[in-house]
């Protein structure tokens, strides 16, 4: 499997190489521009929009960019006018040296769509450099036996200019013995030769001092001077001669420093001191002096500095052999530098786009160029990236490549890619360069918030404290940044009688739910509403979840007595015939409890009676019955105190007072309570006397408790009588009828008209106005009264 993958990668690399070579050979025609050196910065050179046949707006929209190997910003492109502008003064001699023509190549890169135009800037020379002699004084020794017509090669002046502005002529100060002959050395170089016009006489003139002037071909011409000091010597009639006038040597550029380059050799037919030869460079340039050195005795030429084929390919060295008599001979050593694969490929990044938005179609991530300073196969390259990435390399012209996305990116899968670009040349051994770029994937809001549950059930005990934390709703978002910042909110609930915002609130940042007010189980046992989670993306995405709040019942309501009424202006009196049998149903206490479950289970208990043992109460239904037969000694009026208690924890209770009036039969007139009270004043006094005597043995504490209890009840009754009927304040519930059917704790049907008292407020107390007595009972009472 690995072998097949490796062969696939190799085929891919070969394909890229072939496409690259084809694109390079098929390049468009090169644009040519010209500028004179030392031209002022900011000078427009040409209008690229016009040269490319593009409109100014079209050129700007295509994202033009100037790219050059020199890595210097000597050119600028104006996006407003499309002009190619000179960004700095150019010195032709610094840029190209003696090379002519001086051409600076660059590329015009258009990014959208991607296109490359090759261009060249020709830097024209101006006459801005004067000829210069390296030595301001040239010593020369000439034997007096030298015959007229003899020539002496003098130091050549250096002129950095080229072409017509380069060195073209030499002159010497007027004299009778010498003149200058200009010798053409080839390749555009001229050397001054001093020509002897007549025989010298040391005894007449032992030394000459002449001025040598070098002139260039500029207009106006520039010049430089040096002094030539000529010392007339005694006869030395043989000059040193080299074995060969030209030596050619080839050296690889990685030749170690100190290696022997070549050994030059010269002969002198003279003897003695005139036959001793010293070797030296003849006015070599600084670069030659830095790279080579020569042994003055043996003539061995050694490598002093490192060679670099990419900088200089050929050295031409003039070597001089000079005897002690001042005669010399010269030869030329030409050193050709051979290229070796010593430069790894270079990756020059032109543009890099990061981050890249996820879900984008094919996108250009990077534009770069490959450069190898070697030549031949050493300079040919191939480029590749790992095959398991969603990116692809596309070769273009001039060694340019574009890195584009192959498929849309997904930030939730990979938020960052480290792409290693590998460039390998074709030399031996092969050199490789790796360049790693990091591409961030920016987030797009493509994921809605997701709740951890589709629905939430929360339990709250009723009568809770306000602002109680009842639970937390949580959602997550796979996006990042503001796209993942979730805000929680309550969605409108139309089925709640009270506004949802008045009952619950949610923390928008963390989803905590709070009950804003005390909940009442008796009002509503279940709340259902939706909670929304919205991110901060653009456009924002949201989701919702169902929240169900269940209110748990608490024993917060005491039993309420529906019958007999306890808040009437006059107490309710039940009539009991004296002939009633044991178990006779006197009345039935009807009570309800607004709580539920066991908190609403009611039990009845007889706390106190005027005649203990005469009456009994059934614990489960509240029926008050007689326990025995009535006698004449029984009091005509009885007061019963009953307790109604629920089954909560702790239990709550309510008390009810019953008044029972003994009658001989239902034919006896029934008078209102005040009249009956007046008729029975004397009987009550007698009964009171008997009671005082009977209770004399009871402790004073118990008597005080009974009196206190009776006083409290009388005060409540007086307050209820003073309040009168029930009024319904505006904005409260209107009066309505409560129907207690026989299915409850009453054996017969009763109806009570009820309303909320103005003072009841939030407690929702009921006030029962009066019973609606069935017609047959009213009519029977009327007949009895007649």
Residue 364, Cα to own-chain centre: how many angstroms?
A: 21
As a whole number of angstroms, the distance between CA 247 and CA 672 comes to 157
Q: How far apart, in Å, are the Cα atoms of 214 and each of 160, 219, 230, 582?
A: 13, 15, 18, 160
Beta strands 512-515; 526-535: pairing state: unpaired
Among residues 70, 72, 222, the alpha carbon closest in space to that of 160 is found at 222
CB-based burial label for 9 (10 Å; 0-12, 13-18, 19+): middle
The DSSP element (H or E) to which 150 belongs, if any, is none
Q: How far apart are CA 140 and CA 137, in angstroms?
A: 10
The rounded distance, in Å, linking the Cα atoms of 49 and 56 is: 6
Q: Which tokens in the block code for residue 390?
A: 């969603």
Predicted local confidence at residue 626, as pLDDT: 92
Contact 642, 607 (CB under 8 A): yes
Using CA atoms, how far residue 131 sits from 96, 167, 212, 213, 677, in Å, is: 18, 7, 12, 9, 152
Closest by CA position to 369, among listed 438, 433, 439, 440: 433
What is the phi-psi region of residue 162: left when phi exceeds 0, alpha when psi lies from -120 to 50, beta otherwise? beta
Quote the Cα angle for 539-543-545, to 5°. Answer: 165
pTM tops 0.85, yes or no: no
Q: What is the CA radius of gyration of the chain?
A: 62
Which residues, 6 or more positions from 347, have their beta carbon under 8 angstroms from its beta carbon? 368, 369, 370, 421, 423, 433, 435
Q: Does a cis peptide bond (omega within 30 degrees of 0) precede residue 708?
A: no
Instruction: Name the one residue in this structure whose structure tokens are 């202006």.
Output: 569
Question: How is residue 18 written in tokens?
Answer: 């072939």
Encode pLDDT of 650-676 as tens digits.
Answer: 899 999 999 999 998 654 444 444 444
What are the tokens at 399?
């060694």
Q: Which of 266, 280, 268 is nearest to 325 (CA)?
A: 268
Phi, psi of 61 (to 5 degrees): -70, -25
Distance, CA of 395 to CA of 402 (rounded, Å)? 6
Q: Residue 17 in contact with residue 370, Cβ under 8 Å? A: no
Tokens of 147: 């015959």
Q: Specify the pairing of strand 637-646 against strand 653-663.
A: antiparallel
Residues (pLDDT < 50) of the chain are 1-27, 667-684, 723-786
- Rounded to the nearest 10°, the torsion over CA 279, 284, 287, 290 is 30
Structure tokens at 526: 């279940």
Pairwise CA distance, residues 688 & 682, whole Å: 10
Residue 188 confidence (pLDDT): 66
Q: What is the pLDDT of residue 785?
A: 35
Which residues have CB under 8 Å from 664's CB, separation 6+?
577, 578, 579
Distance, CA of 692 to CA of 676 (rounded, Å): 23
Identify the pLDDT of residue 474.
94
Query: How long, in residues, is the chain?
Result: 786
Q: What is the pLDDT of residue 233?
A: 78
E strand or H helix at 136? none
Dihedral in degrees, nearest 10, Cα atoms 186, 191, 196, 201 = -140
Residues 6+ apart with CB under 8 A from 322: 240, 277, 278, 280, 328, 329
Residue of 150, 159, 284, 288 whose CA lies nearest to 224: 159
Write out the H or E segment, with its range, that includes residue 632.
none
């Amino acid at each position: 499997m690995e072998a097949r993958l490796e062969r696939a990668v190799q085929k891919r690399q070969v394909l890229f190489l072939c496409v690259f070579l084809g694109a390079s050979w098929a390049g468009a025609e090169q644009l040519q521009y010209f500028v004179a050196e030392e031209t002022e910065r900011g000078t427009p050179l040409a209008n690229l929009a016009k040269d490319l046949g593009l409109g100014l707006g079209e050129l700007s929209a295509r994202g033009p960019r100037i790219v050059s190997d020199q890595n210097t910003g000597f050119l600028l492109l104006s996006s407003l006018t499309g002009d190619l502008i000179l960004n700095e003064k150019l010195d032709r001699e610094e840029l190209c040296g003696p090379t002519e023509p001086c051409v600076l190549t660059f590329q015009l890169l258009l990014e959208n769509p991607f296109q490359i135009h090759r261009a060249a800037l020709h830097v024209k020379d101006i006459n801005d450099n004067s000829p210069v002699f390296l030595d301001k004084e040239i010593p020369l020794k000439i034997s007096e036996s030298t015959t007229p017509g003899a020539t002496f090669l003098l130091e050549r002046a250096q002129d950095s200019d080229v072409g017509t502005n380069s060195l073209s002529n030499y002159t010497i100060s007027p004299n009778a013995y010498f003149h200058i002959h200009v010798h053409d050395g080839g390749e555009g170089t001229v050397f001054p030769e001093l020509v002897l016009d007549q025989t010298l006489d040391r005894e007449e003139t032992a030394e000459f001092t002449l001025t040598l002037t070098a002139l260039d071909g500029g207009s106006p011409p520039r010049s430089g001077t040096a002094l030539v000091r000529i010392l007339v010597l005694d006869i030395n009639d043989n000059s040193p001669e080299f074995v060969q006038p030209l030596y050619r040597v080839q050296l690889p550029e990685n030749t170690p420093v100190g290696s022997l380059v070549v050994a030059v050799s010269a002969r002198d037919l003279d003897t003695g001191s005139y036959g001793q030869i010293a070797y030296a460079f003849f006015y070599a340039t600084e670069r030659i002096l830095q790279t080579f050195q020569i042994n003055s005795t043996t003539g061995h030429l050694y490598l002093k500095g490192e060679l670099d084929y990419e900088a200089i390919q050929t050295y031409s060295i003039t070597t001089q052999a000079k005897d002690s008599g001042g005669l010399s001979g010269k030869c030329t050593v030409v050193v050709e530098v051979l290229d070796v694969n010593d430069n790894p490929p270079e990756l020059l990044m032109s543009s890099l786009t990061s981050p890249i938005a996820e879900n984008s179609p094919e996108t250009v991530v990077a534009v770069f160029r490959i450069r190898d300073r070697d030549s031949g196969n050493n300079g040919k390259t191939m480029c590749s990236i790992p095959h398991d990435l969603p990116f692809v390399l596309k070769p273009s012209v001039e060694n340019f490549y574009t890195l584009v996305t192959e498929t849309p990116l997904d930030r939730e899968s990979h938020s960052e890619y480290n792409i290693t670009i590998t460039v390998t040349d074709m030399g031996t051994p092969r050199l490789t360069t790796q360049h790693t770029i990091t591409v961030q994937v920016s987030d797009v809001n493509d994921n809605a918030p997701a709740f951890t549950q589709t629905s939430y059930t929360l339990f709250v005990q009723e009568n809770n404290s306000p602002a109680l934390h009842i639970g937390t709703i949580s959602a997550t978002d796979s996006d990042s940044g503001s796209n993942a910042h979730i805000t929680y909110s309550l969605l409108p609930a139309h089925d709640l009688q009270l506004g949802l915002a008045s009952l619950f609130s949610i923390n928008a940042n963390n989803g905590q739910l709070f009950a804003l007010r005390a909940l009442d189980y008796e009002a509503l046992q279940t709340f259902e509403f939706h909670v929304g989670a919205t991110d901060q993306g653009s456009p924002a995405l949201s989701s919702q979840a169902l929240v169900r709040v269940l209110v748990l019942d608490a024993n917060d309501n005491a039993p309420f007595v529906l019958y007999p009424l306890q808040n009437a202006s006059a107490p309710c009196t039940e009539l009991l015939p004296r002939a009633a049998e044991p178990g006779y149903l006197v009345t039935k206490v009807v009570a309800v409890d607004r709580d539920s479950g066991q908190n609403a289970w009611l039990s009845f208990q007889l706390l106190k009676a005027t005649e203990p043992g005469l009456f009994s109460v059934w614990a489960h239904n509240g029926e008050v019955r007689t326990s025995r037969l009535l006698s004449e000694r029984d009091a005509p009026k009885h007061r019963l105190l009953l307790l109604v208690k629920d089954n909560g924890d702790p239990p709550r209770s309510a008390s009810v007072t019953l008044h029972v009036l003994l009658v001989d039969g239902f034919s006896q007139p029934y008078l209102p309570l005040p009249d009956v009270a007046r008729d029975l004043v004397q009987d009550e006094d007698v009964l009171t006397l008997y009671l005082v005597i009977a209770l004399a043995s009871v402790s004073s504490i118990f008597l005080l408790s009974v009196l206190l209890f009776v006083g409290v009840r009388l005060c409540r009754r007086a307050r209820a009588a003073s309040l009168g009927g029930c009024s319904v304040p505006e904005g409260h519930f209107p009066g309505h009828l409560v129907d207690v059917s026989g299915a409850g704790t009453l054996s017969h049907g009763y109806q009570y008209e009820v309303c909320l008292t103005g003072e009841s407020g939030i407690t929702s107390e009921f006030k029962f106005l009066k019973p609606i007595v069935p017609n047959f009972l009213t009519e029977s009472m009327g007949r009895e009264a007649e």
